[in-house]
Amino acid sequence: MNEGAICLLSGGLDSSVSAYIAKSQYDEIYALTITYGQRHEKEIESAKEIAASLNVKDHTIFQLNLDKFGGSSLLKKETNTIQKDISYEEIGKTIPSTYVPARNTIFLSLALAYAETKNADHIFIGVTAADYSGYPDCRPEYVDAYQRLINVATKKTIQGGKIVLHAPLLHLSKRDIVLAGKKLQVPFEKTWSCYQGLQHACGVCDSCQLRLKGFKEAKLKDPLVYHAYPAWY
Amino acid sequence: MNEGAICLLSGGLDSSVSAYIAKSQYDEIYALTITYGQRHEKEIESAKEIAASLNVKDHTIFQLNLDKFGGSSLLKKETNTIQKDISYEEIGKTIPSTYVPARNTIFLSLALAYAETKNADHIFIGVTAADYSGYPDCRPEYVDAYQRLINVATKKTIQGGKIVLHAPLLHLSKRDIVLAGKKLQVPFEKTWSCYQGLQHACGVCDSCQLRLKGFKEAKLKDPLVYHAYPAWY
């Protein structure tokens, strides 16, 4: 114990549960929220509330102009039209249009700089492979390759220190993530998963559907208010 | 041929020679210059001039607030005092104070996003292990680990495409880099290596000393003007 952990915290369900898991294991939590011109700025407000509830030692909000590179629908500043309703059976079969090139690779590199600066031994990222939406950088082989990179990449790790990459949700389903969050008393009402920038969660985007599916399967009520609910919910 | 290459281009000698090597092998060159609050903003002007002389398809200048994390003398906005003069025999024996946490890991992650967006098959970085100043992320094992990460990290690479990381200077001495640059007609007078933000290169910082050593051993004259020259030059 008495070790520090950097937690990548978007303010969504997964990263919040991941950060609460970190908090249950380590003393000093540092939250890192990266904004990259995504439409759902509401997540950042959620991240601030979750960081406060975690009583973090520091919360760094890092602005990144990923729109300079383009290449993802998440980066486009379009009108807030609701995406077409897709069944959740279709989710995860292809790489979705919301894929952001090298996103987690960039996020983890910033977390690594933060870890080295704060002398934190741990990095937590809330990626999940089970229900994963087809992102290449949310798979076990990706996490393993990143750990091997860390081992040779920093002053600390080549001088005998450790920086351990944790992806505690990697093999959990959305249902299991909701149950883990419940157990750790994650304030679900403060988290935000929707890809749309509406007043309430849209209930139809991939992210809303996966979240609602998780709550449904966990037999728990999602405290968030939704504009609409899928027929199966 | 007819393949694109992303070139990390600081405007220094090494990255400029690395980009000219890329240009000699591939048709479409994309330059990526990352500014991170370093004192030597002059490098950025150099990067623009080198990019122009390379006739790049695109030059992205990416601003990164690495000072948010701190941890390096390169990031401090102090007065431009000249560093203490150290002999070049001492260079490379320890990790210097100019080490920036996870710097190349961050730079390469941004290059990777750029490569995927532009559908470029190659990334060039001008790191060098021979004369290296003790940076962990300038070693062969680091470059190898990053390539293995790339192979599992992107939509393109997991769908059968390739993104190859090149570090053509990795095993070259500063002398060999100068000679390679000479052969490729790199406009040395447009490059900038000094860590200080003075009108001319200081001639005493690590970077100036390594550069002058390279020119001396290559038996060539460095066209840059220096405020001072080391006694051994």
Q: Which residue has the higher pLDDT, B104 or B71?
A: B104
Interface touch A136/B145, C-beta < 8 Å: no
pLDDT digits (tens, 9 = 90+) for A3-14: 999 999 999 999
Q: Strands A58-63 and A122-124, how do they pair?
A: unpaired
Q: Place A187 in a pLDDT band, splitting at 50, 70 and 90.
A: very high
Structure tokens at B228: 């001072």
A86 has a chain B CB within 8 A of its CB: no
Decide if B154 touches A, using CB distance below 8 A: yes
Strand partners, A122: A5, A164
| Interchain CB contact of A155 with B (< 8 Å) | yes
Stated pTM of the model: 0.89
Name residue, tokens 């095993």: B171
The candidate with the shortest Cα–Cα distance to B98, out of B200, B205, B170, is B205
Over the stretch B172-198, which tens digit does the pLDDT of each residue have? 999 999 999 999 999 999 999 888 878
B161 vs A: CB within 8 A: no
Better-predicted residue by pLDDT, A73 or B157: B157
**What letter would DSSP give residue A209?**
H
Domain span holding position B32:
4-217
The Cα diameter of chain A in Å comes to 56
The answer to the question of residue A223 being in a domain is no
Exposed / middle / buried, residue B88 (Cβ in 10 Å: 0-12, 13-18, 19+): middle
How confident is the model at residue A88, as a pLDDT? 47
Dihedral (Cα; B220, B225, B226, B227), 10-degree rounding? 160
B155 near B115, Cβ under 8 Å? no
β-strand partners of B217: none
Q: A127 near B137, Cβ under 8 Å?
A: no
- Residue B229 placed within a domain: no
Tell me, yes or no, whether B233 lies in a domain. Answer: no
CA-based torsion, B127, B128, B133, B136: positive or negative: positive
| pLDDT of A154 | 92
Instruction: Report if residue B86 sits inside a domain.
Output: yes
B51: nearest Cα among B113, B9, B111, B98: B9
Whether B38 has a pLDDT exceeding 90, the answer reads: no
Percent residues over pLDDT 70 in chain A: 83
Tens-place pLDDT, residues A127-147: 998 655 678 888 999 999 999
Distance CA(B46)–CA(B53), nearest Å, equals 11
Calculate the CA dihedral of residues B169, B174, B179, B180 and round it to 10 degrees.
10
Q: What residues of chain B lie within 8 A of the CB of A101, using their CB?
A: 112-113, 116-117, 154-155
Residues B113, A69: C-beta atoms closer than 8 Å? yes
A140 vs A128: CA distance, rounded Å: 9
Interchain CB contact of A76 with B (< 8 Å)? no
Residue B230 in domain: no
Give which of A32, A94, A39 is closest to A66, Cα–Cα: A39
Asked if residue A47 lies in contact with residue A56, where contact means CB atoms within 8 angstroms, the answer is: no
- What distance in Å separates the CA atoms of residue A204 and residue B114, rounded to the nearest whole number? 31
How large is the average pLDDT for residues B204-224? 93
- A109:B114 CB<8 A: no
Structure confidence at residue A84 (pLDDT) = 43
- How do A164-166 and A122-124 pair as beta strands? parallel
Sign for the CA dihedral angle at B180, B182, B183, B185 comes to positive
B77 pLDDT more than 70: no
Return the residue in A30, A154, A159 with the most chain B beta carbons within 10 A, the one to mutate for interface testing.
A154
Taking the C-alpha atoms of residue B168 and residue B5, their distance in angstroms, rounded to an integer, is: 13
Q: Tell me: the pLDDT tens digits for A72-127?
A: 555 544 333 334 444 444 444 555 666 678 999 999 999 999 999 999 999 999 99
Query: Residue A226: inside a domain, yes or no?
Result: no
Tally the residues of chain A.
Answer: 233
Question: CB B9: neighbour CB atoms within 10 A?
Answer: 32
Is any Cβ of chain A less than 8 angstroms from the Cβ of B158?
Answer: yes
* CATH number of the domain bearing residue B69: 3.40.50.620
Instruction: Work out the burial of residue A165: count CB atoms within 10 Å of its CB; fewer than 13 is exposed, 13-18 middle, 19 or more buried.
Output: buried
| Domain contains A56 | yes
Interatomic CA distance for residues A230 and B175, integer angstroms: 66
Q: Which amino acid is at B190?
A: K
Residue A163 in contact with residue A109, Cβ under 8 Å?
Answer: no
Q: Counting Cβ atoms within 10 Å, is residue A53 exposed (0-12), middle (13-18) or buried (19+)?
A: middle
Number of domains in chain A: 1
Question: Which residue from A164, A162, A144, A146 is spatially nearest to A25, judged by alpha carbons?
Answer: A164
- Would you say residue A45 lies in a domain? yes
d(CA B159, CA A188) in angstroms, rounded, equals 36
* pLDDT tens, position by position, B79-102: 333 344 444 444 445 556 666 789
The torsion angles phi and psi of B64, rounded to 5 degrees, stand at: -135, 125
pLDDT at residue number A75: 55
**Total Cβ atoms within 10 A of residue B83:** 17
Measure the N-to-C terminal CA separation of chain A; round to a whole number of Å.
41
Give B-chain residues touching A105 at CB under 8 angstroms: 109, 112-113, 149, 153
